[in-house]
A and B are shown apart, each in its own frame.
Chain A
Amino acid sequence: MKLLEVKNLGVEFHTDEGIVRAADNISFDLEQGEVLGIVGESGSGKSVTCLAMMGLLPMPPAKITSGEVLFNKRDLLKLSEARMRAIRGKDISMIFQDPFTSLNPYLKISTQLMEVLKTHAHTMTYAESKRRCIEVLEQLGVPEPEIRFNSYPHQLSGGLKQRIMIAMSLLLQPKILIADEPTTALDVTIQAQILDLLKDINKKHGTSIILITHDLGVVADLCHKIQVMYGGRLAEQGDVDDIFYRTRHPYTKGLLNSIPSLDIEPGSKLKPIPGSPPDLTALGDFCAFSPRCSKVQEKCRTKRPERTHETGQHVYECFFPYETDQLGNAGDRRVGS
Chain B
Amino acid sequence: MTQQPYLSVRNLSKHFKPAAFSRGAVVKALQDISFDIPRGQVVGLVGESGSGKTTIGRSVLRLIEPTSGQVMLDGVDVTTLSGAQLRHQRRKMQYIFQDPFASLSPRMTIGQVLTEGLDIQGIGTRAERRARAEKALMAVELPVDAFDRYAHEFSGGQRQRIGIARALTLEPDFIVADEPVSALDVSIQAQVINLLRDLQTRLGLTMLFISHDLAVVEYICDTVIVLYLGRIMEMAPAADLYARPSHPYTRALLSAIPSPDSATRPQRQILTGDIPSPANPPSGCVFRTRCPFAIEACAGDVPALREVAPGHLRACIRDDIL
Binding between chains A and B: no
Binding site for B on A (CB under 8 A): none
Binding site for A on B (CB under 8 A): none
